[in-house]
Amino acid sequence: MGEAKKLYIRTYGCQMNVYDSERMAEALAPAGYALTDVPAEADLILLNTCHIREKAAEKVYSELGRLKSLKAGNPDLRIGVAGCVAQAEGEEILRRQPLVDLVVGPQSYHRLPEMEARVRAGGRVLDTDFPAEDKFAHLPRRAGTPAGPTAFLTVQEGCDKFCSFCVVPYTRGAEASRPVARLLDEAQALAARGAREITLLGQNVNAYHGEGQDGASWSLARLIREMARIEGLLRIRYTTSHPNDMADDLIAAHGEEGKLMPYLHLPVQSGSDRILKAMNRRHTAETYLRLVERLRAARPDLALSSDFIVGFPGETEADFETTLDLVRAVGYHSAFSFKYSPRPGTPAAERAQISEDVKADRLSRLQALIDDQARAAQEAMVGRIAEVLFEKPGRLPGQLVGKSEHLHAVHAPADGAAPGDLRRVRIARAEAHSLAGEIRPG
Ligand code: 5AD
Ligand code: SF4
């Protein structure tokens, strides 16, 4: 091991980037890097970027601008851009930002140690290939280091759906599932290191079809059922799902597998069939609503969340109102909504665009409705018992915070409990973004 060097990673965007950032830190540990959360101390700064909407990419360029003074003060500092902006705009980043030494796309993280050596020696490196090998096979998790009570585990990456607004099929590449044996090993290791809850990640996680130990192709439901046998692992979640891949065995698992949490992020994007068609979603509002019914028949207390895009090219006021109708019909626990953002290289970017004012107006109306529903879901918990997995100390001394089965943030006086403990909590009141309660004995 070389002398201790410091690595600072800033993560933008989705949970998969959070997972990837952890794996990059682990990949660079043998090269002598320890993580720091102070950029000014770092010998290597990596920005793990997101390209999903315009603002996300802009943030990267302004962050790079801010790093200029650090680099001027420290000639040994190396700066890298990773993630989806790196994949989409690799060469342009090198051209626009001379202070960037390294550009690495999401499929090449296992080659980071050798790239680091090249930039240390003064080179500039660009690697945005889609190599044939599985990068995760070359990114072993370090055993021994304690994990937090909750962990992410990428089981599937990429997407073949080509929704007409989305860059993911271009930045993350074709849909690919990791083999079952590796995932079970990794989950086992996480549980042994203290993880109590694992969230299985994939851009299209319910399209999972990895190779099982028996050589057959395993569904996500089968993977979940097998993973649920791991001792010490108490909870399993998965995200993000496409309605068309919500298979019967997965719906059934929600009713049968006790460790699978009653919460599902199931993006619908719009309530208008005309817009869904233009988005190339290949489902209708009606089929989505029917799917929700089947899920709730399997698990009546299932909490749902979704993503919505407003102001997609061609969206009329009437289209938008059908989206509001769909939200009212489903009743979400939470949801994310975005103004449509034209992404270069995607089909919808070429179409006639809706004005910013209209987008902003629709966004605020949709968000107001979603906020009402989220508040109602929180208030419905008052007086009830939630099972809470505590994650960390709360804001006040002696307090712990964690998540309920339905992913509500809950805080309570610790009362002898510690992070990693699962406890029954009586909910006393709903606050702005969390629930407050008290741990029940037993
Ligand atoms: N504009 C706005 N929102 C988008 N999303 C994906 N691409 C775009 C875009 N071009 C949203 C979708 C998706 C979420 C991750 O981001 O709602 O589900
Ligand atoms: Fe993007 Fe999701 Fe559609 Fe794939 S399914 S193209 S990741 S929005």
* Strand order from edge to edge, sheet including 235-239: 150-154, 197-201, 235-239
Q: Which atom of ligand 2 is nearest to the CA of 307?
A: 8
Q: Which atom of ligand 1 is nearest to the CA of 343?
A: 10
Helices 220-227 and 248-256 pack at an angle, to 10 degrees, of 30
Q: Which atom of ligand 1 is nearest to the CA of 166?
A: 7
**Which ligand is in closest contact with the Cα of 157?**
2
Query: Does residue 340 line the site of ligand 1, with CB under 6 A?
Result: yes
Question: Which one, of 230, 236, 205, 241, lies nearest residue 220 by Cα?
Answer: 205
Question: Which one, of 420, 414, 379, lies nearest residue 399 by Cα?
Answer: 414
pLDDT for 206-243, tens place per residue?
999 999 989 999 999 999 999 999 999 999 999 999 99
Alpha carbon distance 23, 183 (integer Å): 14
Topology of domain 385-439 in CATH is: OB fold (Dihydrolipoamide Acetyltransferase, E2P) (2.40.50)
Residue 1: pLDDT band with limits 50, 70, 90: very low
pLDDT beyond 50 at 350 = yes
Q: Is 138-379 CATH 3.80.30.20? A: yes
Instruction: Report the residue among 160, 162, 163, 241 best suited for mutation to probe ligand 2: largest number of ligand atoms under 8 A from its CB.
Output: 163
Q: Which atom of ligand 1 is nearest to the CA of 348?
A: 10
pLDDT for 240-295, tens place per residue?
999 999 999 999 999 999 999 999 999 999 999 999 999 999 999 999 999 999 99
**pLDDT on residue 219:** 98
Query: Does residue 52 line the site of ligand 1, with CB under 6 A?
Result: yes
User: What are the structural domain ranges in the chain?
Assistant: 5-127, 138-379, 385-439
* CA of residue 7 to ligand 1 center, whole Å: 30
* CA of residue 373 to ligand 2 center, whole Å: 25
pLDDT beyond 60 at 47 = yes
**pLDDT on residue 319:** 98
Of the options 3.40.50.300, 3.40.1530.20, 3.40.50.12160, 3.40.1260.10, the CATH number for the domain spanning 5-127:
3.40.50.12160
Q: Say what the pTM is.
A: 0.94
Alpha carbon distance 297, 342 (integer Å): 38
